[in-house]
Amino acid sequence: MNNNNSSKATNKYLRLSPHKARRILEQIRGKKYNEAILILNFLPYRSCKTITKILQSAYSNIISNTTTEIDKNQLIIKKAFANPGPILKRFKPRAQGRAFPIRKPTCHITVELENI
């Protein structure tokens, strides 16, 4: 499980599609912390800002949970995944009294850092 060399951060019920969040997480999985932050800063997607905050939270967790000095260059992203959350269901009024369903997906994003 979590030892002194790893830490994780989770954000739940985000109003992002899990499919779109996974597209970003695949880009940073296995990369070093500094490299991942740099990649997220230059990708043009909306979910990058949220994923950056989760990554910084995981870094903050590993700093507060260890007594030794942690180097940002020695941290790699061990796990990064997005699970689907509950779907908000709405209806859009259409012509002639019809209603079309609208599905607003949510997701839970988890990022785990490990000190190598």
Domain count, the chain: 1
Domain that holds residue 26: 6-115
Q: List Cα–Cα distances, 82 to 31, 47, 49, in angstroms.
A: 17, 11, 15
Which residues of the chain register pLDDT less than 70?
A: 1-4
Q: Decide if 13 is inside a domain.
A: yes
18 within a domain of the structure (yes/no): yes
Residue 104 belongs to some domain of the structure? yes
The rounded distance, in Å, linking the Cα atoms of 34 and 36 is 5
In this structure, is residue 1 part of a structural domain?
A: no
- pLDDT, residue 3, reads 55
* CATH number assigned to the domain comprising residue 105: 3.90.470.10
Distance, in Å, from the CA atom of 76 to the CA atom of 81, rounded to the nearest integer, reads 15
